[in-house]
Structure 1
Amino acid sequence: MKCPFCHETATKVVESRTADEGNSIRRRRECENCGKRFTTYERIEERPLLVIKNDGRREVFSPEKLMHGLVKAVEKRPVSMEVLQKIVTEVESQVRTQFDKEVPSSYLGELVMEKLRTVDEVAYVRFASVYRRFRDVNEFMEEIKRFLEGESG
C-alpha cells in the first residue's frame, strides 16, 4: 500500500476492524518511512447486477436510484433515513442472493413495495402509483382496494 503523504510503499497495519455492517474491513496503517498514519478500506469486489427494464433495456442496479425513489415516496411522512437505508440494504441483499447477473425490474419494484407496505401506507401507495403507472383513477382505486383487503399486485 502506497503512503498518500510520501508515496513510499513500506507501510504496516496497526489496527483492523470490520466496518459497514461487516461488509468491509477498516485498516489503520502507518508509513514506515514518514511515520504518518492513514486509513484504508477493504471490501469484496461485487459483480455488476443489471436491471432488465420493461422495454428490454438493461441498466446497472443503483442503490442510489432506489434510495431516491424511496425518498420521494416518503416525502413529508414520518419515515427516517435509517429505515430507508435498511430497505435499500435488504432489497440489494435479497436481489443479489436470488439473481446472479440480471434482475427483472418488475421483481425489484414488487420487493420494494412489499417492504414499504410495512413501513408507511401512504408511501406504499405513492410508490405503487409511480411504479405501476396507473392510467386513470379507477386503476388507482383498485390498488387502494387491494391494499385495504390485504393483497398486493
Structure 2
Amino acid sequence: MNCPFCDHEETKVIDSRLAGEGRQIRRRRECLACHERFTTFEGAELVMPRLIKSDNRREPFDEQKIRSSMHRALEKRPVSADVFEESMGRMVHKLRTM
C-alpha cells in the first residue's frame, strides 16, 4: 500500500482489529520511509449478480424493485413486517452468495 504522505510503496501493519460490526478490518499502518502513521479500512466488495430479462438483456439487481413488488403482492395477506424483512434478508443473502 502506498503511503498517503510521501507515496512510498512500502508500509507495515502495526495493529489490526475488526470494525463496523465485523464487516471491516481497521489497520493501523506506518510508512517505512517517512515513519508517518495512518489508518486504513478494508472490506469486501460485494457485487450482486446481473439479472437476465426475458428479452435476454442484462439488468443490475435492484433490491428496492423486488422489495416493492413483494410488498404489493403481500399487502392484503396476513404477513407481518418482521417476517417480510426476514425473508428479504434471506433472499438478498442467497443472491450475494451465488
TM bucket (normalised to shorter chain) is: 0.5 to 0.7
Structure (1 or 2) with the greater strand fraction: 2
CA distance in 1, matches of 2:33, 2:6: 8
Shift of 1:9: 1.9
CA distance in 2, matches of 1:30, 1:15: 10
Q: Deviations over 1:46-78 (max 9, x none)?
A: 455112345543123356xx39x77xx9xxxxx
User: Which residue in the other structure is 2:93 paired with?
Assistant: 93
CA contact (8 A) 2:12 2:29 kept: yes
CA separation of 1:7 and 1:23: change in aligned 2, threshold 3 A = same
CA distance in 1, matches of 2:38, 2:32: 12
- Residue 30 of structure 1 aligns to which amino acid in structure 2? E
- Residue 17 of structure 1 aligns to which amino acid in structure 2? R
CA distance in 2, matches of 1:8, 1:34: 8
- Residue 50 of structure 2 aligns to which amino acid in structure 1? L
Q: How many residues matched?
A: 80
Unaligned runs of 5+ in 2: 72-84
RMSD: 3.4
TM-score when normalising by structure 2 = 0.54
CA distance in 1, matches of 2:62, 2:29: 31
CA separation of 1:62 and 1:4: change in aligned 2, threshold 3 A = farther
Identity of aligned residues (%): 45
CA distance in 2, matches of 1:27, 1:19: 10
CA separation of 1:92 and 1:37: change in aligned 2, threshold 3 A = farther
CA distance in 1, matches of 2:51, 2:39: 34
CA distance in 2, matches of 1:21, 1:51: 30
Q: Deviations over 1:83-112 (max 9, x none)?
A: xxx87x934323223xx2xxxxxxxxxxxx
Unaligned runs of 5+ in 1: 74-85, 101-153
CA distance in 2, matches of 1:61, 1:24: 23
Q: After the TM superposition, which segments of 4 or more aligned residues of structure 1 sit over 6 Å from their partners?
A: none
CA distance in 1, matches of 2:20, 2:3: 24
